Structure 1
């Protein structure tokens, strides 16, 4: 990927889906920490969906809510990320969802990339 400085501030990149604007000023683009959190959450959710589908479970809806903690004394780095998965489907059992989340953690490249530098916790709820 190539990022080009924009005159009004921030950077942009041309990607197959479209233009991505990134800036420390959220009026000029997505903030880098937002993209980091989105990458981990969406990757984790997508891998979880695939794992559940391979187990032949029907998922009607899946969402991921995030909570982020940052340390202002260390360049405002992301220190903690909590992801809460809300899974809607029929006949979903806690035991199967928990094992599926374990598999998702092991197979999500974004989770694996940051797990040693960010404390990641997860929770879930099943709705029918």
Structure 2
């Protein structure tokens, strides 16, 4: 896996993934940025949410659950001192569908957290306290 980050002036950077996709990152105005994109630490948090959501949906689809929507809401806390690393992250999944089985949703979230989500497991090994919850909504 590869990525390239190009400085775009001031506090702005263009990131290009190995697969050719790009995203603009930028800092806030009080740090010399123009607020043109997410902050790098926000990208890390969004990557974690995407990684875990990918797992949860894959597991639920293999379990033949009729999911119509899946949203991951993440909240993170960071250390007050530099480096301002993540200290705690909570992922809350809102899974919507037709007659979803709670035991299968619970299992999908747990398997992502404990076995499949590389981002989550890597951050936990680095000392970040990661927690998960879910709710099920009927479509």
TM-score strictly above 0.5: yes
Which stretch shifts more, 112-121 or 59-68? Answer: 112-121
- Find out whether 1:127 has 2:125 as its counterpart: no
Tell me the CA shift for residue 103 of structure 1.
1.6
Output one character per residue of 1:68-89: Cα deviation in whole Å (capped at 9) or x when no partner.
1111124221111101100001
Output one character per residue of 1:32-72: Cα deviation in whole Å (capped at 9) or x when no partner.
11011101111101110000000111101000111111111
Superposition TM-score, scaled by structure 2 size: 0.82
Tell me the CA shift for residue 90 of structure 1.
1.7
In structure 1, the partner of 2:104 is 96
Structure 2 residue corresponding to 1:21, chosen from 21, 24, 27: 24
How many residues of Structure 1 are paired with residues of Structure 2 in the alignment?
A: 127
Would the aligned equivalents of 2:55 and 2:108 in 1 still touch at CA under 8 Å? no
Unaligned runs of 5+ in 1: none
Superposition TM-score, scaled by structure 1 size: 0.88
Would the aligned equivalents of 1:9 and 1:28 in 2 still touch at CA under 8 Å? no
CA RMSD of aligned residues (A): 1.7
Would the aligned equivalents of 2:75 and 2:91 in 1 still touch at CA under 8 Å? yes
Task: Please state whether the residue corresponding to 2:95 is helix, strand or coil.
Answer: strand
Task: Please state whether the residue corresponding to 1:7 is helix, strand or coil.
Answer: coil
